[in-house]
Amino acid sequence: MNSLTVSYLQLNLVWENSRANLMQIEKQLSLLDRSVDLVVLPEMFNSGFSMNSSQLAQSMDGELVKTMTNFAKEFDFAITGSFICQEGGNFFNRLLFVFPDGQIEKYDKRHLFRMANETDYFSPGNKRLIVNYKGWKILPLVCYDLRFPVWSRNQFKVIGNRVNSEYDLLIYVANWPAARVTAWDKLLLARAIENQVYVIGVNRTGIDGKGIEYNGRSTAIDPKGDYLKAPSSEVVIESVILRKDALEDFRMKFPVGMDADSFQVITSH
């Protein structure tokens, strides 16, 4: 598929209230055009960024995952976002990528935000997920991962006079506070430019149960570092059409992958 239509939901999440959040998500999803291919939700979309893992966690067999699967099937598009998952006695900030047919792929947040004590309540992931969906290769990551460019790095493979890229679209789902939103804005632009990919960053808005303010700034950026959708601070649904031919044309005309460094990421745990 040459084009990919992506919608993202910038929400004012209700603190630790899964039912209320899922109700507002369902309402927003029902407003979307059926031409949408992928919907992106914020980090911990059903609870807000809570460390109350023992009370809020759900299993992969729980109602939340079933609800996400039902949404994907009912509306016939893929859905991604993260929630608090309990598995094998551990808690994870787990991102799910749910396909329209109900298939699920998962990624556990690698970089836990120690300044909010996330490291005390959750276990880190140790493996990236690259999703193949409708001819697009997608790398979904979570919030604090944005600050670590090596983890986000596109790997380039030179074959003759062509460069094959590991992925085409980089997604960050987040609960990124207003106090540090300048970093959010600038790092999203940098990740698009350095990796020659589309970037979509989805944040929340409002004030959470700990009194932390969020001002959204969700956005879509092209491989040149230009905004496809300008950031905003309101509760909003945005949709953008990404074009594979434009991406490949830019990569051919400006093949930075020819000169990229090869490396391997070794996780310590």
Residues carrying an active site annotation: 43, 109, 143
**CA dist list (Å): 52 to 117, 178, 207:** 11, 22, 17
Q: What angle do CA 103, 196, 162 make, to 5 degrees?
A: 95
Hey, what are 5's tokens?
A: 């239509």
Name the H helices within 84-142. 118-121
Measured distance CA(218)–CA(42) in Å, rounded: 9
Q: Give the position of tokens 């016939």.
A: 76
Hey, what are 7's tokens?
A: 């919608």
Give the 3-state secondary structure of residue 127.
Answer: coil
Measured distance CA(232)–CA(26) in Å, rounded: 22
Q: What Rg, from alpha-carbon coordinates, does the chain have?
A: 18
